[in-house]
Amino acid sequence: MFTDMLKNVRKAHPLVHNITNYVTVNDCANALLSLGASPIMADDEEEVEEITAISNALVINIGTLNSRTIKSMILAGRKANQLSIPVVLDPVGAGASKLRTETAFCLLEEVKFSVIRGNISEIKTVGRLSSSTRGVDADISDSIGDDILDKTAEFAVHLSRSTGAVIAVTGAADIVTDSIKTYIIRNGHPMMRRVSGTGCMLSSITGAFIAANAGTVDACAAALCTMGICGETAYENISSRVEGTSSFKTHLIDFMGLIDDNMLEGRARIEAR
Amino acid sequence: MFTDMLKNVRKAHPLVHNITNYVTVNDCANALLSLGASPIMADDEEEVEEITAISNALVINIGTLNSRTIKSMILAGRKANQLSIPVVLDPVGAGASKLRTETAFCLLEEVKFSVIRGNISEIKTVGRLSSSTRGVDADISDSIGDDILDKTAEFAVHLSRSTGAVIAVTGAADIVTDSIKTYIIRNGHPMMRRVSGTGCMLSSITGAFIAANAGTVDACAAALCTMGICGETAYENISSRVEGTSSFKTHLIDFMGLIDDNMLEGRARIEAR
Amino acid sequence: MFTDMLKNVRKAHPLVHNITNYVTVNDCANALLSLGASPIMADDEEEVEEITAISNALVINIGTLNSRTIKSMILAGRKANQLSIPVVLDPVGAGASKLRTETAFCLLEEVKFSVIRGNISEIKTVGRLSSSTRGVDADISDSIGDDILDKTAEFAVHLSRSTGAVIAVTGAADIVTDSIKTYIIRNGHPMMRRVSGTGCMLSSITGAFIAANAGTVDACAAALCTMGICGETAYENISSRVEGTSSFKTHLIDFMGLIDDNMLEGRARIEAR
């Protein structure tokens, strides 16, 4: 179902404008470059509209937001909407502070998003349900077991309808939906949770996938499978006696460049609901 | 003496709020995750108190401070004190500029710290002694040789008494004291000085150790031994012909997750004074 | 031609003050440390002059500039000029937004630079020629083929005359000129373009080379050859089946510490024009 999606990214070489946090920004840049896309980071209100205008996608990540960058996120988002450039929202830590929650709400009012991607805490917050966000990692209670998959998928479908965005909920299993098509994805490896930035990198490469491919929900699913498969192959390539989470991250970003469409198609563990 | 200290970190999985510099912030996040703790980075004055309130420790690192973040450091520190959440100060570069020195003094007046960790230049500055800080690395004249260990330990004891904090002075040998117990630690490897962020990572994991273990001075000593042992094992695992400082850093963070209490106990080179 | 240049860096251990972007700042710090220099990052207007004053070189990189840091760049640059401390400009993304272009112009008016280093888009913008900058990566049309080398070299010579700075244009081939001596350098590997920060790291180590060596144009050429050779050796050391761009970056920074003057002299592919 993902025919040529990676090839399209590498051919289009989309420029992805990231307004993102300073914790994982380097990993986002390198994940995009390894994948075959091109990153640009700019967050000053004096330039974000121009930078968005020359880009093929905009990714807004509220990981280390502040009053200065919140303004820039809104300006860039509106400009992207005007120019029909797709926008991804990563509401990092929504629910952990009023500032993050209210910024997420404000962004949803001001900007039309193509994709909203977060863990279940963040997505529940965005959908105004109560949620106990624990830092920026998903709570253990937020891991998506089979038992709560149905309920979460239903919630995601509702949120997709109300926002018009593809909703991607990532965890032990991922849910992707545009309210019409819903996918469950089971790629990935638990070690991904012990590396900072796997969620942020995923949001950034999602920008590249939807910029280079038609069909946002399928392109978004391809991004999630790609990330998950890179996590699996990274784990397969670490030598556990002397390699740990940092070697794992190196391998993960490496595999962003080594994965091809055959590998994506062959290893994707995705089912339509 | 460190019975179960790593186990306790991995069991408690403490959330550590870091207000830190943008140079080494990613390494701090990944060191905490590799160790088994959970990082959160937030520096806006609108949210730092809430973020501190949900955390198990606060680490304030003045590495790339500015007027905006200094305010946030004070707000977060006071909130932590109100809620009896332990606070670690890393006075990076104190002595190198008036802004850093005065910010360190200001923080010491506004916030009660559980641990103050720095190289000897920084600690001397914090103790208002003259010091020639050379960037953020310890000066060669600041390496702690056996000959000046006694004098430095004495100074640290005084500073511990006046601040009520455990003082950790790191260098060729480390000194940790709460004014009653004083330890000298000789773990580590010289290559750690050729990697950016080993001090910052140490401060961050110290937050995790003191959050998850009773006895701040012993928990702080365990953090220092852990860091030093990870440096030693990282060095043992690089193949010197083709690996250098960047591979070393990868291994170092890897070993944060691979080290266990037996390894910590067995390799710790610590003596009580 | 590069006799003892690396030895001089390692002997002088120059302190390099970087006012730079938050995307690649960690790589700049680690590249400097691996090379044998010492990094310091500080960008608040309250301290940049003091930090510059204790440094041996200043590197101004406009990668994620904002109104706050632009002020600091000017203050630090002027202080460096007063104290005859060499200053390197990396006009990242000049041409991509009015803010970047105008900041580059403003810096050129306020500060005398020893070296200006950028890709051809950025250098053309600095020289007020029209240019289509694509993000912070050089455009494909900007790769320096032999056919346009002459024209670019001529342009660089003019810019060097008008600014008084050594001009370093990096791409498939590099051009370095002080208007009297002009070098063409052909070291490097295409994979360097798929890693974020190779340009930024190069600008930072250029600061170290010119601080520790007499003859700015030769020292700048040595920095470019060193970077290129580290890229080549990094590529030779990745095992292509399972290693990609992130492993490549690790090796590249490793080799900054492993390269010596014999290797630099022996592998440099440089010709005088």
Please list the alpha-helical segments (H only) found in chain C.
5-12, 25-35, 48-53, 67-82, 98-110, 120-126, 146-163, 198-212, 216-237, 245-258, 261-267
Mean pLDDT of A33-56: 98
What is chain C's length? Answer: 273
Separation in Å, CA C41 to CA A46, B24, B25, C17: 24, 11, 13, 6
Which of A18, A24, A44 to probe the C interface (max C CBs under 10 A)?
Answer: A44
Query: How long a stretch of residues is chain B?
Result: 273
Dig out the tokens for C103 from the structure: 């900041």
Runs of H (alpha helix) within chain A: 5-12, 25-35, 48-53, 67-82, 98-110, 120-126, 146-163, 198-212, 216-237, 245-258, 261-267
Q: What is the mean pLDDT of residues B9-28?
A: 98
Mean pLDDT of C6-20: 98
Q: Check which CATH number belongs to the domain holding B52 and give it.
A: 3.40.1190.20
pLDDT at C145: 62
Task: State how far the Cα of B155 lies from the Cα of B232, in Å rounded to an integer.
Answer: 28
- The pLDDT confidence band at residue A50, using thresholds 50, 70 and 90, is very high
Calculate ∠ Cα A152-A205-B251, nearest 5°: 100
Kindly report the average pLDDT of chain C as a whole number: 94
Cβ proximity of A230 and A10 under 8 Å = no
Query: pLDDT > 70: what percent of chain A?
Result: 93
Mean of pLDDT values over A220-238: 97
Determine the residue among C25, C32, C75, C252 to mutate to test chain B binding: the one whose Cβ has the most chain B Cβ atoms within 10 Å.
Answer: C25
Output the pLDDT for position C148: 81
Kindly report, residue by residue over C158-216, the tens digit of the pLDDT.
Answer: 999 999 999 999 999 999 999 999 999 999 999 999 999 999 999 999 999 999 999 99
Report the gap between the CA of B194 and the closest CA in chain C (Å): 5
% of chain C residues with pLDDT over 70: 93
The separation between the first and the last C-alpha atoms of chain B, rounded to the nearest angstrom, is 15
Give the tokens for residue B243.
């690996």
* Contact in structure between B162 and B178 (CB atoms under 8 Å): no
Q: Which residue of B has its CA nearest to A24?
A: B26
- Rounded distance between C-alpha atoms, residue B37 and residue C233, angstroms: 37
Q: Across chain B, what does the average pLDDT equal?
A: 94
Bridge-based pairing of strands A182-185 and A174-177 is antiparallel
Residue C273 has pLDDT above 80, yes or no: yes
Q: For chain A, what is the radius of gyration of the CA atoms? A: 17
C227-243: average pLDDT: 91
Cα B48 to Cα B69: distance, rounded to the nearest angstrom: 10
- Measure CA A15 to chain center: 16
Asked whether the beta carbons of residue C43 and residue B66 sit closer than 8 angstroms, the reply is yes
Residue B115: what are its φ and ψ, rounded to 5°? -140, 140
Tokens 């003191």 correspond to what residue?
B210
Band (pLDDT 50/70/90 cuts) for residue A133 is low
Provide the pairing of β-strand A115-119 with B182-185.
unpaired
| Spatial distance between the Cα atoms of B23 and A122, rounded to a whole number of angstroms | 27
Query: Which tens digits make up the pLDDT trace of A215-224?
Result: 999 999 999 9
Distances (CA, A) of B98 to B94, B103, B133, C46: 8, 8, 12, 8
Domain that holds residue A79: 5-272
Whether residue B26 and residue A21 make contact (CB cut-off 8 A), yes or no, is: no
Token code pair at residue B57: 């420790």
C contact test, residue of A11, A26, A233 with most C CBs within 10 A: A26
pLDDT at B142 over 80: no
Q: What is residue B32's predicted lDDT score, i.e. its pLDDT? A: 98
Check residue A140 and give its pLDDT: 47
Res. C24 pLDDT band, cuts 50 70 90: very high
| B224-254 per-position pLDDT tens digit | 999 999 999 999 999 777 889 999 999 999 9
Alpha-carbon span B56 to B207, nearest angstrom: 8
Residue of B nearest to C234 (CA): B242
Spell out which residues of chain A touch residue B38, defining contact as CB-CB under 8 Å.
Answer: 134-135, 137
User: What pLDDT, on the 0 to 100 scale, is given for residue B273?
Assistant: 87
pTM: 0.95
On chain B, the residues whose CB falls within 8 A of the CB of A93 are: 40, 42
Across the interface, whether the CB atoms of B245 and C255 are under 8 A apart is answered no
Residue A39 has pLDDT above 50, yes or no: yes
- Which chains have 3+ CB pairs within 8 A of C? A, B
Mean pLDDT over each residue of chain A, to the nearest integer: 94
**Confidence band (pLDDT; 50, 70, 90) for A73?**
very high
What residues in C contact B135, CB-CB < 8 Å? 15, 38-40, 54-55
What is the nearest CA distance from C155 to chain B, expressed in angstroms? 35
Contact check, Cβ <8 Å, C50/B96: yes
Q: Are A91 and A117 in contact (CB under 8 A)?
A: no
Closest CA to A273 of A187, A164, A181, A166: A181
**Residue in the structure block whose two tokens are 């032990």:** A172
Q: Which of A120-129, A249-258, B124-133 has the highest mean pLDDT?
A: A249-258
Range in A129-138, A168-177, B217-226, C114-123 the model is least confident about: A129-138
Question: Searching chain A, which residue's CA lies closest to the CA of residue B258?
Answer: A244
**pLDDT-derived band of residue B155, with 50, 70 and 90 as boundaries?**
very high
pLDDT at B138 over 80: no
Cα separation, C74 vs A150, in Å, equals 57
Calculate what percentage of chain C has a pLDDT beyond 90. Answer: 88
| Rounded average pLDDT over C93-101 | 97
Query: Nearest residue on chain C to B195, judged by CA atoms?
Result: C30
pLDDT of residue B104: 97
Whole-number Å distance between alpha carbons of C229 and B52? 46
Whether B136 shows a pLDDT value over 70: the answer reads no
pLDDT bin (cut points 50, 70, 90) of residue B143 is: low
- What pLDDT, on the 0 to 100 scale, is given for residue A145? 62
Q: What is the pLDDT of residue A115?
A: 98
The tally of CA atoms less than 13 A away on the side-chain side of residue B62 is: 35
Per-residue model confidence (pLDDT) at position C133: 53
Q: What ipTM did this prediction achieve?
A: 0.94
The predicted structure's pLDDT at residue C140: 47
Contact A205, A36 (CB under 8 A): no
B200 pLDDT band, cuts 50/70/90, is very high
For chain C, the residues whose C-beta falls within 8 A of a C-beta of chain A are: 21-24, 26-27, 63-67, 93, 96-100, 134-137, 193-197, 242-247, 249-250
Domain count, chain C: 1
